[in-house]
Amino acid sequence: MKAERPKFIGARIQRFEDTRLLSGTARYIDDIVLPNMLHLNFLRAETAHATILDIDTSALADLDFPTWVFTGKDTAGLSMKAHQDVPEMQYSEQPFLAEGKVRFVGEPVAVILAEDPYKAEDAAELVFVDYDPLPVVGTMEQARDPEMPPLFDGWKGNVIVERQMKGGDLAAARAAAAHIITRTYRTQRQAGVPMEGRGVVAHYNPADRVLTVWSSTQMPHLVRTYISEELGLPESRIRVVAPDVGGGFGVKGQVYADEILIAWLAMKTGRPVKWIEDRREHLIASIHARDHEHTLEAYVSADGRLLGLKADITVDNGAYSTYPFTSAGEPGMVGKVLPGPYDFQAYEATFRAVATNKCAIGTYRGVARPSAVFSQERLMDDIAAELGIDPFEFRLKNIIRQFPYKNVLGFTYDEGSYAQSLEQMRELLAEDIAEAEVSKSSATRRVGVGIACFIEQTAHGTPDFTRRRTPIETGYIAARVDMSPDGEITIDLGLQSHGQGLETTMAQVAADALGMKPENVYVRHGDTMTTPYSVGTWGSRGGALGGGAVHIAATRIADKLRTIAAHLLQSKPDQIDLVDGRAQVRDNPGSFIEIKKIARIAQRNVEQMPDGMTPGLEAHASCDGPRDGTYANAVHAAVVEIDILTGKTKLRRFVVIEDCGTMLNPLVVDGQVRGGVVQGIGSAMLEHFIYDSECQPLTTNFADYLMPLAPEIPNIEVHHIETPTPLTPLGAKGLGEGGAIGPAAAIANAVGNALGTGVAETPLNTNAVWKLSQHIRETA
Amino acid sequence: MRPASFEYHRATSLDHALELLHEFGEEGRPIAGGQSLVPMMNFRLARPGHLVDINRLPLGGIEIDGQVLRIGALTRHEAYFNDPLIARHFPAFLDAVHYIGHPTIRRNGSIGGSISHADPTAELPAVAVLHDADIVVRSVQGTRKIKAVEFFLSAYVTAIEPGEMVVALEFPLPPSASTGSFIEQSERSGDFGTASIGITLQFAGGKIGKAAMVCSGADLFPIRAPEIEEFLVGKALADPGAAEAGRIFAASIDPVDDHIASADYRRGLIAELTRRAIEAACTRALDKS
Amino acid sequence: MIDITLEVNGASKTLSVEPRRLLADVLRHEFGMSGVHIGCAHGACGCCTVHLDGTPRLSCLTFAVQCDGASIRTVESLGGSEADHVLQQAFKSEHGLQCGYCTPGFLMTLAPFVEEMVAQKRMPEEGEIREAMSGNICRCTGYQGIVAAVRKAVTVGLDAGAA
Ligand SMILES: Cc1cc2nc3c(=O)[nH]c(=O)nc-3n(C[C@H](O)[C@H](O)[C@H](O)COP(=O)(O)OP(=O)(O)OC[C@H]3O[C@@H](n4cnc5c(N)ncnc54)[C@H](O)[C@@H]3O)c2cc1C
Ligand code: FES
Ligand code: FES
């Protein structure tokens, strides 16, 4: 069957969801209001590591309003179990409410419910916890110190998991190397911070045994499954709804203990229960991200060829393991992706997660890759500097050019535009590079140019998840497409849209397949009652796999439309084109029938259908990712101007050349890239979640936790190369995270270029840059 | 993150406000723009029992009163941008206002609130200290004037007693052959500064006469720099020894070392901002003379 | 409890509120204006911006009792359910929003800015536009689409004035 030339895929279509979002009529979690609702306030640990001696709730009795209080004793046995099923991993669970011990500041110790949120907060202040402090495990070094007491009973030390990956002959690479370059790189701990925090509302109706949970989540089906498993309710009677979600960025892409706890509380109290996270809670206790240290050793030939790479990777995971990606996910991902876009044949990575008395690390835009690419691309610059080669030259010498390419770990890369994007970037930056060179003589003001060249494994398929042996077992996305008798189309999408524009892009995909307009398509998502089971929106899979599923399902309906049309027009199905709302005979466009009419026939005038054909125009399809995913690629470049005497660093220019295969909607692609880049700029220059030596958090509000504001941010120049992948139905690769992956590396390289020094860690705030420019001030 | 309970009183006159504050003592607090107080209340770091809303009192306004410029306590930060008196007499003040927060904050925040809140690196406290402003404080007992240098006692601690409130600030009018500048550095625009330096100069015959300098970020409140003020006297506007002044001053301070900035950085930054502020002021003086 | 009268988007209502209730909460719960979003509740994100007697104000730093007799506008009043205010339309065409959570705050902060520029008959500089939105955090868009939307809205306003 010949597919019609896409009309809407690739078009810059304004988003349908915007009207709702702009007019104030969107419905976010805090807009869910139920009669008789109770409001929940968490009492959270104020000590990082302590034994709970007593929780005194007696003062609540004196209040002149009713309260409900629950502690770990009430929820004993309920926990998050997020384990990687490998012998190297030490097992732990996170109790819904602390049982016996607290392990980080912010850990929920009790919940207090009242009929008003202000009062719930009043009441929570009257509950007193008596703690007996324990020694705090506060750093990676302490966590790896066998003398430190383990965070969990039965553990040996605080290394949660340590594993290896290797390929090729590293000893041979080392022996053949003319240069051995060893460096250690660190990326700081940060928070994700969607502008809407998390929140949960739960309601249980005992009459029909139906539990409804609204949650600001990216993965409603996985929340449903976990609730079912933990509370013993059938999944058929649990409905999880993600309403409009005010940003997620991966932060809302884990199942949290509170989502199940609040469901349990609704059942327990017999009343709807609501919790809206506040900013302090979000910053200290949702999830954190990054906090990596990588020591890399590169083996390089005399002529500048990368022969091999050895990596030692540590992630400070915090206290608990998150579901479903687990504490093994982050370090494992670094080990997997470090080979990057470069061609070399020997590799060995040792990677570990260690436990400390901090908030758990979870998935945040880019997951481990911003850190991995920071190290990889800093290393490329450091090697180039050591060898006295231009950083572009060095990369081009080692870049992969033949596709498909099987990398040193056995992963197959589909076709990309690695070298082309590097070459193109070099041209775009020519003037800045020249200016940077000239500024080298200045002791007060320096310009620097830095790049980051990377690939991103996206749209991972089930085999990739199976290999991980973590609770995220599958990677498919499903969609159900339905054309109603009036010809209008509904997509029930297993993805959840929290800013990605899926209500528009998926409509574009269906419209093309069905010869209709995107306006005819209504996309529903986020509600397990209407949408087919899927793992949710994360891991840059929406466009590629969601789009794939919609395409497959819509194509099935299109096939049926063609068959009916052929029957009515006395033609053959493969002679029928679906265009502009009509099913028409290819060589005789005058012979047509309106698709609307076929839709009616298929459901209301079924006597006109071909004999034996089942009524209805409905199709369910799923689309799984390819075995090794599909590899998007990009080059990011930053141009910085540094005031050497104050450390003030101005980001003058940020350029992206990206290749995400087929673009469904360039408007949305640009938005995703720019938004991701600005988050990456935050990681590179501002955002730092800081604990003191007792693991007390110091950056618990927006005056201390600094995110990019408009004045500091330049326009982000985005250039596209489209290399469609044969591995997904529409040729699309993932794109949601890429923007956030490159900036830390590009900006660090730019700062390094400006200052003529290596940069070992982020964030590059004014203080850090000032420190790095010490040598210039001293010699001036 | 919602406030604890309190009682609310809308003051209908200044005397009414003072009576209410007198009545509630430690438990009473004026609320002006609310841009600092309400965040603290939402975090429950502040929990006044009684709020006295002074917003409807006629306490705004910038006017000359004899030898001083009088700024009413409720004057909002944005008012300075287009005020001819500020532009004419207080260039350092005008520079400083540009560094305060964001448009909505500036539209609502007041000078009385800012100096009473006494954030260590807020701009208006530094400006008051720089210009030797008098802070006019009233209570049912009457009025007292507190010198700005004696007003700020520590971070978020001032010389205001329970029952008192700020009604105005009085800035002595500088002689016409004078100018100033204010430079701040913060991590992002609109943030409280990591450090800032303000300078005022009187000049004659191409030379600096009297000088004043204030620094935020060196201590828990804005401090003057008497040795630099001394140092600058008699220096040529074209060559005021600004870099040396920066070095001398930086060597004299002992800034905090915390997660926001290291003590070394603060010292280095302050040295450089001192140089720049002095040079900027001298350039203005040269332009003016 | 204190009795207050608020005029919200043209409709007046007298109600009895506890002094500590934030204007944001009262607008959301007593007036049903769910377009008022709370992103930080400490004045640092701009999500909750509304117009109080015509000018932008953070409703998370305002007690409803302070507003007795005041007139308040929220995003709901801007361009109605079709979002047909010129700035809303520009947000749409320039992709000035993604998740939409920050959007009402940006709109309420920037609509008066656009009006002011049109009244002054000039196109603001890039830096001015960015400064005008410096109290608002958007985590999704990277601000560029919002800057473009402001420019577009001012252009439409200037063209209309010229015509
Ligand atoms: C996001 C954000 C960024 C900001 N950035 C800056 C910045 O860069 N620089 C800066 O200086 N400020 C900044 N601010 C604070 C802002 O300037 C405040 O407006 C100011 O500090 C307090 O003024 P206010 O009128 O809002 O006072 P309020 O918040 O109403 O009161 C503050 C304190 O002063 C007391 N008070 C108020 N008026 C009087 C009076 N007349 N007499 C005695 N006591 C009084 C109150 O009881 C309270 O203790 C920022 C605020 C926010 C939310
Ligand atoms: S919610 Fe009011 S400024 Fe953030
Ligand atoms: S659109 Fe999501 S925070 Fe701005």
| Pocket lining: C22 vs ligand 2, CB cutoff 6 Å | no
CATH number, domain containing residue B281: 3.30.390.50
State the DSSP string of B84-121: HHHHHH-HHHHHHHTTSS-HHHHHH-BHHHHHHHT-TT
Q: Are residues B201 and B224 in the same domain?
A: yes
Mean residue pLDDT of chain A comes to 96
Ligand nearest to the CA of B108: 1
**Confidence grade of residue A3 (pLDDT, cut at 50, 70, 90):** very low
Whether C102 is in the pocket of ligand 2, judged by its Cβ within 6 Å, is no
Q: Is the peptide bond before A743 cis (omega within 30 degrees of 0)?
A: no
* CB distance A354 to A148 below 8 Å: no
Nearest CA in chain A to B193: A703
Interface contact C153, partner A, CB < 8 A: no
> Quick check: B265 and A765 CB within 8 A?
no
Q: Could you tell me if B43 and B129 lie in one domain?
A: no
Residue A363 contacts by C-beta under 8 Å, 6 or more apart in sequence? A250, A251, A253, A254, A287, A289, A322, A325, A329, A538
Nearest-CA distance C163 → chain B (Å): 31
CATH code, residues A32-134+198-245+252-285: 3.90.1170.50
Backbone angles phi, psi at A400, to 5 degrees: -75, 135
Domains of chain C: 2-74 (3.10.20.30), 79-162 (1.10.150.120)
Task: Write out chain A residues lying below 8 Å of C41, CB-based.
Answer: 278-279
Given CA atoms C128, C131, C132, C137 in this order, what sign does their dihedral have?
A: positive
pLDDT band at A5 (very low <50, low <70, confident <90, very high): low
Task: Yes or no: say if C104 and A24 are a contact pair by the CB < 8 Å rule.
Answer: yes
Looking at the domain that runs over A18-26+476-623, which CATH code has it been given? Answer: 3.30.365.10
CB A524 within 8 A of CB A491: yes
Inspect the interface and report whether the beta carbons of B259 and A699 lie closer than 8 Å.
yes
Residue of C98, C110, C143 to test ligand 3 pocket, by largest number of atoms within 8 Å of CB: C98
Q: Give yes or no for residue A1 having a pLDDT over 50.
A: no
Cβ atoms of residues A402 and A416 within 8 Å: no
Query: How buried is C35 (Cβ within 10 angstroms: 0-12 exposed, 13-18 middle, 19+ buried)?
Result: buried
Chain mean pLDDT for chain B: 97
- Name the domain count of chain B: 3
Render pLDDT for A522-535 as a digit per residue (tens, 0 to 9).
999 999 999 999 99
Closest residue in chain A to residue C83, using alpha carbons only: A23
pLDDT at A204: 98
Same domain, B213 and B245: yes
Q: Please report, rounded to a whole number, the percentage of residues in chain C having pLDDT higher than 70.
A: 99
C-interface mutation test, from B20, B29, B102, most C Cβ less than 10 A away = B102
Task: Examine residue B232 and state whether it is found in any structural domain, yes or no.
Answer: yes
Residues in chain A with CB shorter than 8 Å from the CB of B273 are 646
Paired tokens of B116:
């009473």
Q: Please indicate whether, in this complex, the C-beta atoms of A706 and B187 are within 8 angstroms of each other.
A: yes
Which residue of chain B comes nearest to C109, CA vs CA? B104
The Cα B38–Cα A11 span in angstroms is: 47
The reply to whether ligand 2 has any atom less than 6 angstroms from the CB of C60 is: yes
Written as six digits, the tokens of B28 are 């009473």
Contact A750, A449 (CB under 8 A): yes
Instruction: Scan for tokens 């001012």, then name that residue.
Output: C154
Structural domain span for residue B20: 7-53
The answer to the question of residue B1 being in a domain is: no
Cβ–Cβ pairs < 8 A, chains B and C: 83
Query: Looking at B123, B146, B172, which one is the last position of a domain?
Result: B172
What is the domain-level CATH number for residue B150? 3.30.465.10
Predicted confidence (pLDDT) per residue in B119-156, tens digit? 999 999 999 999 999 999 999 999 999 999 999 999 99
Q: Is the pLDDT of residue A603 over 50?
A: yes
For the Cβ of B101 lying below 6 angstroms from any atom of ligand 1, the answer is: yes
Of B39, B187, B192, the CB nearest to A766: B187
Which amino acid would we find at residue A615? P
Cβ-nearest to A22 among C39, C97, C134: C97
Where do the domains of chain A lie? 18-26+476-623, 32-134+198-245+252-285, 288-462+627-779
Closest residue by CA, ligand 1 atom 1: C44
* Element (DSSP H or E) covering residue A332: helix A326-337
Residue C43 CB-density burial (10 A; 0-12 exposed, 13-18 middle, 19+ buried)? buried
Quickly state the pLDDT bin for A540 (edges 50, 70, 90): confident
Chain A residue numbers with beta carbons less than 8 Å from the beta carbon of C144 are 674, 713, 715-716
According to the 3-state scheme, what is the secondary structure of A333-354?
A: HHHHHCCCCECCCEEEEEEEEE
Instruction: Count the residues in chain A.
Output: 780
Residues B136 and B49 in one domain: no
Query: For position A451, what pLDDT does the model report?
Result: 98
- Judging contacts by C-beta atoms under 8 Å, the chain A residues touching residue B1 are 121, 278-280
- Say whether A24 and C95 touch across the interface (CB within 8 A): no
Cα of C142 vs centre of ligand 3, distance in Å, is 9
User: Distance between CA atoms of C118 and B32, rounded to whole angstroms?
Assistant: 32
Q: How far apart are CA A326 and CA B66, in angstroms?
A: 71
Q: Average pLDDT for residues A153-165, to the nearest whole number?
A: 97
Atom of ligand 2 nearest to the CA of C43: 3
A686 shares contact with chain B (CB less than 8 Å): yes
Ligand at minimal distance from the CA of C46 is 2
CB contact under 8 A, A646 and B259: no
For residue B70, is it within any domain? yes
Write the pLDDT tens digit of every residue in A541-581: 888 999 999 999 999 999 999 999 999 999 999 999 999 99
A484 sits in the region (left: phi over 0; alpha: psi -120 to 50; else beta) called beta
* Touching subunits for chain A (3+ Cβ pairs under 8 A): B, C
Q: Is C43 a pocket residue for ligand 1 (Cβ < 6 Å)?
A: yes
Q: Average pLDDT, stretch C130-140?
A: 98
Measured between alpha carbons, how far is C26 from A233 in angstroms, rounded to an integer? 37
B23 lies in the same domain as B124: no
Q: What is the pLDDT of residues A64-76, one digit of tens each?
A: 999 999 999 999 9
Q: Whose CA is nearest to atom 34 of ligand 1?
A: B113
Q: Which ligand 2 atom sits nearest the alpha carbon of residue C40? A: 4
What is the tens place of the pLDDT at every residue in B67-115?
Answer: 999 999 999 999 999 999 999 999 999 999 999 999 999 999 999 999 9
Residues B182 and B284 in one domain: yes
For residues B46 and B128, membership in a common domain is answered with no
- Helix or strand (DSSP H, E) at A144: helix A140-144
CATH number of A288-462+627-779: 3.30.365.10
Domain CATH for B35:
3.30.43.10
Q: How far apart are CA A468 and CA A398, in angstroms?
A: 29
In-domain check, residue B2? no
Min Cα–Cα distance to chain A from B39, Å? 10
Taking alpha carbons only, the member of A708, A688, A698 closest to residue A767 is A688
* A2, pLDDT greater than 50: no
Q: Ligand 2, from C22, C36, C37, C45: best to mutate by most atoms within 8 Å of Cβ?
A: C45
In-domain check, residue B153: yes
Contact A181, A379 (CB under 8 A): yes
Atom 48 in ligand 1: residue holding the nearest Cα: B37
- Backbone φ, ψ for residue A636 (5° rounding): -110, 145
CA distance C20 to chain A (A): 9
- Contact between chains at A18 and C21 (C-beta distance less than 8 A): no
Dist CA A242 CA A581 (whole Å): 33
Q: What is the pLDDT of residues B189-235, one digit of tens each?
A: 999 999 999 999 999 999 999 999 999 999 999 999 999 999 999 99
**Best of A646, A687, A702, A764 to disrupt the B interface by mutation (most B CBs within 10 Å)?**
A646
Residues of C in contact with A709 (CB under 8 A): 134, 137
Cα–Cα distance, A335 to A313 (Å, whole number):
7
Instruction: Give CA–CA dist A443/C99, Å, rounded.
Output: 44
- Are C20 and B7 within 8 A, CB to CB? no
Q: Which of B6, B10, B34 sits opposite C61 (nearest CB)?
A: B34
Segment A394-416, tens digit of pLDDT: 999 999 999 999 999 999 999 99
Query: Amino acid letter at B122?
Result: A
Which residue has a Cα nearest atom 3 of ligand 2?
Answer: C43
- Tell me, using a 6 A CB cutoff, whether residue C52 lines ligand 3: no
Q: Do B215 and B168 sit in the same domain of this protein?
A: no
β-partners of residue A480 are A492, A620
Taking the CA of residue B95 and the nearest CA in chain C, the distance in Å comes to 16
CB A715: neighbour CB atoms within 10 A?
14
Starting at the edge strand found earlier in the chain, the sheet holding A238-241 runs A67-71, A108-114, A38-44, A273-276, A199-205, A210-215, A238-241
Q: What integer pLDDT is reported at residue A283 of this predicted model?
A: 98
> For position A200, what pLDDT does the model report?
98
**Using the beta-carbon criterion (under 8 Å), do C135 and B55 form an inter-chain contact?**
no
pLDDT score recorded for residue A735: 87
**Angstroms from A479 CA to nearest CA on chain B:** 40
Say whether both B113 and B152 belong to one domain: yes
Contacts of C among chains (3+ CB pairs under 8 A): A, B
Instruction: Tell me the C-alpha distance between A458 and A733, whole Å.
Output: 7
Decide if A710 and C28 are in contact by the 8 Å CB cutoff.
no
C-alpha torsion A412→A719→A393→A344, nearest 10:
-10
State the Cα–Cα distance between residues A356 and A338, nearest whole angstrom: 25
Residues of B with Cβ-Cβ distance to C2 under 8 angstroms: 8
- The reply to whether the predicted model has a pTM over 0.90 is yes
Residue whose token pair is 């068959």: A563
* Structure token digits, residue A620: 């369910």
How far, in Å, CA of A652 to CA of A438, rounded?
16
Q: Is A12 on the interface with C (CB under 8 A)?
A: no
Return the percent helix, strand and coil in chain C, to nearest 5: 45, 15, 40
Q: What average pLDDT score do residues A608-633 get? A: 95
User: What is the structure's pLDDT at A461?
Assistant: 86
> Which protein residue's CA is at the shortest distance from atom 9 of ligand 1?
B100
Per CATH, A18-26+476-623 and A32-134+198-245+252-285 having the same topology is answered no
Contact A725, A630 (CB under 8 A): yes
pLDDT score recorded for residue A132: 98
Q: What percent of chain A has pLDDT over 70?
A: 99
**What would the 3-class secondary structure string for A261-322 be?**
HHHHHHHHHCCCEEEECCHHHHHHHCCEEEEEEEEEEEEECCCCCEEEEEEEEEEECCCCCC
